[in-house]
């Protein structure tokens, strides 16, 4: 038999699936894969359920239900001050994962260079490479994950087609500030490159920070792509409803990709997401406040146990250094160890690097978007295992 595509066939199983399976096997508290315990806002779930029961179950328009595209445009105006034409500049996708693939397949020509920032979300590199892109990786260094402007500038060249980055950033919970975004924008303008910005955690941002979209910076409206996810904004990660915003010309090849990737997304979930994006400001404020409180609950407890807790400015996650606990082994060993021996699961941060073996091996990511009781059970188990203050 002829060989399959070598790149795809050669991939391992994603770390989220591996760790969730191990958590199930050992009945451990799963603080690995990022999904909330919360069941999501009632009006959003009711809207989706009713829409389905009322019989709206055939193919919706290829670009997405008008109601959702209008809601995405209104939301961009409300939170980022962007004027968006819902008819030509918004595309609904089956999750941000599809949105990312549509952008990469739609924009990259084989041989184009793509600038990426490590640590990075696990779907980025395989899709960039499958699209023929040549990754140019820039690494952020723990514990502060600060961006080296010099290294970033060196990664750009006349062959750069685009930069793909994520803010707030999974797994390291960094939020790019205005100065960093301006620096990235200047590089894009100087090198005639696009910026594809994964903003799925736009509403999960802490300590009075405000989410800034690179698309709102001068000169970037025509060359930035903004990606959001209803899964993250409404605590409904299984829904897989994403949305892309881009200038009409830039949207065309992205939408062409979408039409042959999935073509559409379930109509009732789109309807529910539209209701969600139109919720009042208090919904979004309390989502962030609630997550911040959970961050503090888990981060404080992990620190008491003896972990070094790294700063977490957004997302569902807090990253920790386990070396102060005296564990000798890699981050993968540690995650396996605590799953089996303590009954708590985390994910190794090295999985978010192109070459895990050459990545930092002392950091693990814990997810805190859980009920307080889940977090408390995890903490009790870790205290029992490692000692430390209850
Ligand atoms: N980007 C990042 C940074 C994520 O954490 C996630 C969530 N898994 C995604 C994209 C994918 O989002 P979705 O579930 O909407 O496909
Ligand atoms: N985004 C989630 C995380 O980082 C997982 C998504 C997935 O399982 N593909 O944990």
CATH class, domain 42-280, is alpha beta
Tens-digit pLDDT profile for residues 134-165: 999 999 999 999 999 999 999 999 999 999 99
Bridge partners for 134 per DSSP: 113
| Nearest to 32, CA basis, from 15, 47, 8 | 15
Q: Which CATH architecture is the domain 6-40+282-386 placed in?
A: Alpha-Beta Complex (3.90)
Residues 6+ apart with CB under 8 A from 387: 305, 306
Tens-digit pLDDT profile for residues 98-133: 999 999 999 999 999 999 999 999 999 999 999 999
Q: Look at residue 156 and give its three-state secondary structure.
A: coil
E-strand ranges in the chain read: 29-30, 90-93, 113-118, 134-139, 160-166, 194-198, 224-229, 242-246, 308-309, 317-321, 344-345, 347-348, 363-367
Give 206 Cα–ligand 1 centroid separation in angstroms: 19
Which helix (DSSP H) or strand (DSSP E) does residue 297 occupy?
A: helix 281-305
Tens-digit pLDDT profile for residues 287-318: 999 999 999 999 999 999 999 999 999 999 99
Give 250 Cα–ligand 2 centroid separation in angstroms: 27
The DSSP output letter for 342 is I
| pLDDT surpassing 60 at residue 36 | yes
Atom 8 of ligand 2, residue of closest alpha carbon:
16
Would you state the pLDDT for residue 387?
Answer: 85
User: Which residue out of 14, 24, 34 has the highest number of ligand 2 atoms within 8 Å of its CB and is therefore the one to mutate?
Assistant: 34
Q: What percent of the chain has pLDDT over 90?
A: 98
Beta-strand pair 160-166/113-118: parallel
Would you state the pLDDT for residue 261?
Answer: 98
Alpha carbon dihedral 246, 166, 102, 250, in 10-degree steps, equals 20
Give 33 Cα–ligand 2 centroid separation in angstroms: 5
Ligand nearest to the CA of 20: 2
| pLDDT surpassing 70 at residue 79 | yes
Ligand nearest to the CA of 94: 1
Would you state the pLDDT for residue 360?
Answer: 96
Give 59 Cα–ligand 2 centroid separation in angstroms: 27
Atom 9 of ligand 2, residue of closest alpha carbon:
16
User: The tokens of 121 are what?
Assistant: 């979300």
Q: Look at residue 242 and give its three-state secondary structure.
A: strand
Q: pLDDT band for position 389 (50/70/90)?
A: low
**Which atom of ligand 1 approaches the CA of 241 most closely?**
15
First and final C-alpha spacing in the chain = 58
Protein residues with CB under 6 Å of any ligand 2 atom = 14, 16, 33-34, 170
Would you state the pLDDT for residue 390?
Answer: 47
d(CA 283, CA 265): 25
| pLDDT surpassing 70 at residue 323 | yes
| Nearest to 166, CA basis, from 15, 30, 331, 313 | 313
Give 168 Cα–ligand 2 centroid separation in angstroms: 14
- Angle, alpha carbons 279-79-289 (nearest 5°): 65
Give 228 Cα–ligand 2 centroid separation in angstroms: 14
Contact of 211 with 202, CB cutoff 8 Å = yes
For the chain, what is the mean pLDDT? 97
Ligand nearest to the CA of 14: 2
User: The tokens of 290 are what?
Assistant: 């609630």
Domain spans, the chain: 6-40+282-386, 42-280
| pLDDT surpassing 90 at residue 39 | yes
Tens-digit pLDDT profile for residues 237-255: 999 999 999 999 999 999 9
**Which atom of ligand 2 approaches the CA of 121 most closely?**
4
| pLDDT surpassing 80 at residue 388 | no
Atom 2 of ligand 2, residue of closest alpha carbon:
34
Question: How many other β-carbons are positioned within 10 Å of the β-carbon of residue 50?
Answer: 13
Tens-digit pLDDT profile for residues 157-204: 999 999 999 999 999 999 999 999 999 999 999 999 999 999 999 999
Q: Is the pTM of this model over 0.85?
A: yes
Q: Look at residue 302 and give its three-state secondary structure.
A: helix
Question: How many other β-carbons are positioned within 10 Å of the β-carbon of residue 366?
Answer: 27
The DSSP output letter for 316 is S
Give 35 Cα–ligand 2 centroid separation in angstroms: 7
Protein residues with CB under 6 Å of any ligand 1 atom = 95-97, 121, 166, 170, 198, 200, 229, 231, 237, 240, 242
**Which atom of ligand 2 approaches the CA of 200 most closely?**
1
Give 127 Cα–ligand 2 centroid separation in angstroms: 16
CA–chain centroid gap for 20, Å, is 18
């Amino acid at each position: 038999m002829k060989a399959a595509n070598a790149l795809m066939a050669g991939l391992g199983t994603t770390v989220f699936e591996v760790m969730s399976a191990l958590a199930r096997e050992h009945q451990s508290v799963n603080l690995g894969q990022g999904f909330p315990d919360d069941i999501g806002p009632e009006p959003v779930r009711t809207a989706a359920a009713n829409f389905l029961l009322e019989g709206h179950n055939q193919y919706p328009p290829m670009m997405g239900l008008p109601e959702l595209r209008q809601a995405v445009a209104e939301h961009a105006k409300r939170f980022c001050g962007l004027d968006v034409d819902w008819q030509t500049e918004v595309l609904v996708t089956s999750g941000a994962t599809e949105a990312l693939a549509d952008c990469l397949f739609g924009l990259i020509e084989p041989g184009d260079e793509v600038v990426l920032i490590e640590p990075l979300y696990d779907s980025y590199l395989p899709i960039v490479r499958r699209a023929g892109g040549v990754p140019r990786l820039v690494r952020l260094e723990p514990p502060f994950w600060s961006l080296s402007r010099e290294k970033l500038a060196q990664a750009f060249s006349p062959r750069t087609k685009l930069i793909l980055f994520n803010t707030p950033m999974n797994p390291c919970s960094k939020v790019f500030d205005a100065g960093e975004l301006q620096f990235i924008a200047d590089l894009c303008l100087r090198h005639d490159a696009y910026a594809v910005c994964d903003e799925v955690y736009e509403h999960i941002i802490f300590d009075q920070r405000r989410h800034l979209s690179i698309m709102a910076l001068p000169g970037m409206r025509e060359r930035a792509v903004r990606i959001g996810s209803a899964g993250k904004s409404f605590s409904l990660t299984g829904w897989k409803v994403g949305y892309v915003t881009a200038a009409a010309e830039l949207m065309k090849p992205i939408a062409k990709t979408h039409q042959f990737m999935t073509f559409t997304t379930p109509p009732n979930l789109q309807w529910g997401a539209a209701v969600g994006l139109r919720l009042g400001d208090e919904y979004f404020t309390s989502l962030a406040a609630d997550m911040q409180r959970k961050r503090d609950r888990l981060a404080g407890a992990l620190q008491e146990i003896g972990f070094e807790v790294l700063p977490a400015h957004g997302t569902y996650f807090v990253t920790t250094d386990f070396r102060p606990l005296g564990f000798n082994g890699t981050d993968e060993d540690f995650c396996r160890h605590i799953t089996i021996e303590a009954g708590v699961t985390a994910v190794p941060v090295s999985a978010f690097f192109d070459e895990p073996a050459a990545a930092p091996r002392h950091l693990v990511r814990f997810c805190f978007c859980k009920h307080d009781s889940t977090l408390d059970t995890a903490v009790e188990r870790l205290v029992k295992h490692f000692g430390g203050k209850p």
